[in-house]
Every structure is written in structure tokens, then in C-alpha cells.
Amino acid sequence: MDSTWNEQIIAHYKSNKLHLDWLSKPSQHQFRWRTLEGRWVTSKRRIRNHETLLKAIGRNFPSDLYVSTSSWLNPIDLPRLRDTEASYPILIDHLIVFDIDVAPLSLKNLERAKNVAKGLHTYVMENESVEFVHATFSGSKGFHLIYKDTDREKFGIPDPKKREETVRQERKDLLSRVLEQGFEVDERITADTRRIIRLPGSIHGKTGFQCTSIDTNQLEIPLTQLLEQIPRIDQAVIIPKKAKVIVKTPFKEKIEDVVDYEHSYLIEVSNHLPGTKDRSALLFWTPYSWGTDTDCFERLNTLIEMENLSFGAIFSDGERILFICPESITRAKVAKILTNLGMDKLSENLKQRDHYWVRISGIMDDGGIWHNEPKFISIINNNNLKSIYSKAHLTLLTKLGIPIDSFQNEKLAGKSEPSIRMVVRD
């Protein structure tokens, strides 16, 4: 985004109050945000109100601002699910959240999402033991419905791990009932006790609309009238009436459709660490279905947290995301991660050939014109101080224009130069 866009977002946070009064105890929730520079930050202090949140943000104004759906006895430095060394965190409460998104963004799809939210709310209030908190317009493709769980028995289970597992299972059962009724909701949100959602009062970094609390009466009014009540920055996007249909085609077919030349040229890098036997870096292009917006970044952020990776550099060619984690990882672990992500072909290539190649450039045609050039977006940092990095893939990041001075004193593996090749395709 340009400087004017960022200035308008900063002005919004300086002149508007963020909405925390709907949380019973904000200090028990975790707050996270993505800065205007693309870096993810987790608050290192307890947030009690608007003023303490602004102090935590400081000068790192958010492009997108989130709060956890769970409340914890200690939300600071919350250990990951797979962290077996830290004491298990004590879950105090977990909001029931339904995320209704209909992509891509358009007035027609938003109308559809509004109708789903309206029908789902009626169903939930008639069939579940919950207390309605509020709905929110997310600022983009849909709505959130948020409820308090009136059944408190499970939150008294003495074993904190069993308590969280019980809550998660109950949420899965609830999600199943909702899906069986035909309601279109995001299946990743409701049952995830470690999930974050947009904070009301914050600006959606892609659209410029404010994530805004609404009541159920507002779901009854025409969508255009509802949107008139939603604050936004001056440069907010104009939502089209209908979404433009984009047909995604496989990589090779895509180039042939766009460029009428005999050959195309691109640069690829191997994920193998030169000078090692069994070490790999984790590099891949995300599937087209992941998109290139916040949902994709959340998936990658979750990947880094779940696998306890060091950090990941993110590039975009406008249609997909190139993810590069320059950590020294065993080949077997990389193959398993790729399989879990649904990238079976890449995983099989790694198992059979001990490495695989990934495009790191745009695609040049016979006329010397480049297409689909990846541009640096941000770094997702996990601050894993125990990591061993690939010399070659840190060098790769410097070649791609990313400074890595902060990693000079870390443990390094393999040779300095990555394995790079030029590929010619007919």
C-alpha cells in the first residue's frame, strides 16, 4: 500500500477508540497484529483497555489487529499446542465464534453472507445453550457471530490439558451440527481454542473498512444501507456489485495462455542444503485456493507456530505466495510438513530425489519481458532461538533483497551458495 493509505490507517487509530468492552476481562486475552510493514507482533503486556492496547502497539501501527477467542490465566508468552516442556496454559473461557465468509469480495456475495449469518443466528439461539454477544462485519468478505458459552462445567475440569481438549471437542460437535443444517461457515474457526479474530474498531488492511460490531437488527436491513453505517478510511476499496470470475489454470497452461512465445525462462532454487546429507529448507508456492490475503498469512503463521519453525519470508506474484523458511530441517520433517499441507507431489519429489526445485523468479518470455515476478511482502517471525539456519538459503534471501544481519551470530549449516538453475520451458 502507498504512504497515504498507511497515513490514513494511523490517523484512524489515533482518533478512534478500539472496542474492548465486549470482553469480560480483556487482560486474559492475547492480542496480535500485523504491522504496516508486514511484521507479526504479539503483545508482551496485558491489555486492559484501549489505552494499554495503544501503549503496546506503540509506533508499530497495525495493518490488521486481532484478539484471541480464548481467555487464559496467563495470555503472555502462550505456549504452543506441541510445546511439551512449558507448563500447560490454563483456559479460563472460550467464546463461540462462527466466521461466515463468501469469497471473492462483492456486494452479491456479502448479501449471501449476511443471509447465512441471519439464519445461523436464529438456529443457534433456538437450539444451543449460548448467550449472544454481538455480530461483526469483518471489514471484508463477511461476518462473525460471537456467543458466550453458558455451560460452565467444563471450564472447571482440574487438568488444564483435558479441559482444553473437552472444550475443543464440544466446539467440534457444535460445528458438526451447524454444518449438517447447511450453514456455510469457516470450519477452521469455531473449534480452534488458539484462534484469533479481528478486533472490532480495527481497520481491515486490505479493504480499508472497519471491523464493526453490529446487532441482529442490522442484519435485517438492505446490505447497501448496512455498509453506509460502516466506518472506513478515505481510500477504502469500492466493493463491486458482482465478483469477477477468475479461472485458475495450472502453471504451464497459464503461461501458454498469457504469453504467445515458443519458450519461457525462469530461475529455480533447490531446497537442499549444499554440503549436508539430510538437511533441507522449507520452500513452496501456496495453492491458488489459499489466495494472497490475510487468510493465507494466518495459515502460514499457524504453520510456523505448530512446527516451531524460526521464521518465514513471504513473497507474492499477485496470485500466489512464495514461502521461504531458511531453517536447517531434516528431509523427513519437510516431507511430513508438505504432506500435512496437502502438497503431496512436492513431498514425493523430496522423498524420491532427496530435494526439489522451486521457482524464485518471474517468468521471462522470448521477448525479454518478465511476468509474475515475486515481490517481498513480509517476514513472519517466531523468535525460535534454538534454530540452525541454512547458510545457502540465508544467502538466497540476501540475493532476493532481504537483509539478514540479525542472523549472523546464529548457528549455521551447509555451504554458503544455494543451488540455483535457469530453466527453459517450451
Provide mean pLDDT across the span 201-220.
94
Q: Is 149 left (phi over 0), alpha (psi -120 to 50) or beta?
A: beta
Cα–Cα nearest to 40, from 160, 269, 196, 193: 196
Neighbours of 267 (CB within 10 A): 15
Share of the chain above pLDDT 70, in %: 90
* Confidence band, pLDDT 50/70/90 cuts, at residue 310: confident
Q: Is the pLDDT of residue 224 over 50?
A: yes
Q: Is the pLDDT of residue 258 over 50?
A: no
- Residue pair 421/357 in contact (Cβ under 8 Å)? The answer is yes
Q: Is the pLDDT of residue 194 over 60?
A: yes
Assign domain 3-228 to a CATH class. alpha beta
* C-alpha distance from residue 251 to each of 349, 368, 400 (Å): 17, 19, 22
pLDDT at 382: 67
* Confidence band, pLDDT 50/70/90 cuts, at residue 332: very high
Reported as a single tens digit per residue, the pLDDT across 95-109 is 999 999 988 889 999
294 or 190, greater pLDDT: 190
Cis amide linkage into residue 104, ω under 30° from 0: yes
Q: To the nearest whole number, what is the mean pLDDT of the chain?
A: 88
pLDDT at 193: 93
Helix axis angle, 331-340 relative to 344-353, nearest 10°?
Answer: 160
Q: Is the pLDDT of residue 364 over 90?
A: no
pLDDT at 248: 40
Maximum CA pair distance of the chain? 69
Reported as a single tens digit per residue, the pLDDT across 33-59 is 988 887 888 999 999 999 999 999 998
Name the grid cell of 204.
481491515
Every domain range in the chain assigned CATH 3.90.920.10: 3-228
Provide mean pLDDT across the span 128-150.
96
Q: Is the pLDDT of residue 250 over 50?
A: no
Q: Report the C-alpha gap between 19 and 213 in whole angstroms.
A: 9
Reported as a single tens digit per residue, the pLDDT across 140-179 is 999 999 999 999 999 999 999 999 999 999 999 999 999 9
401 or 323, greater pLDDT: 323
pLDDT at 280: 95
Name the grid cell of 163.
479441559
pTM for this prediction? 0.64
